[in-house]
């Protein structure tokens, strides 16, 4: 997928992200999206939800109940 447009963004990304979203693409249309940017977005947004759905990661309530060595003594209950 190097140098190929894999998606068209409905917005122009901020300048900090444009380098990643337009990586190895020719042209000046910053709504074009490279594969690596789409992969990062999907990994960040979808992966956690699928893990929770399939039961591979603890829920927030369960992680709050687990002991934390850095919490004050009164907050561990």
**What is the residue-level pLDDT of the chain in tens, covering all 77 positions?**
888 999 999 999 999 999 889 999 999 999 999 999 989 888 888 887 888 888 776 666 656 665 555 656 555 55
Domain boundaries, the chain: 5-57
Per-residue confidence (pLDDT) for residue 2, from 0 to 100: 85
Burial of 49 (0-12, 13-18, 19+ CB in 10 A): exposed
Per-residue confidence (pLDDT) for residue 41, from 0 to 100: 86
6 touches 25 (CB < 8 A):
no
One DSSP character per residue, 20-36 reads HHTTT--SS-TTEE-HH
Per-residue confidence (pLDDT) for residue 10, from 0 to 100: 94
């Amino acid at each position: 997928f190097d140098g190929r447009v894999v998606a068209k963004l409905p917005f122009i990304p901020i300048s900090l992200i444009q380098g990643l979203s337009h990586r190895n693409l020719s042209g000046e249309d910053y709504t074009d999206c490279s594969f690596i940017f789409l992969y990062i977005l999907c990994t960040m947004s979808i992966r956690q939800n699928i893990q929770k759905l399939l039961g591979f990661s603890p829920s927030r309530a369960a992680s709050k109940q687990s002991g934390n060595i850095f919490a004050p003594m009164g907050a561990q209950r």
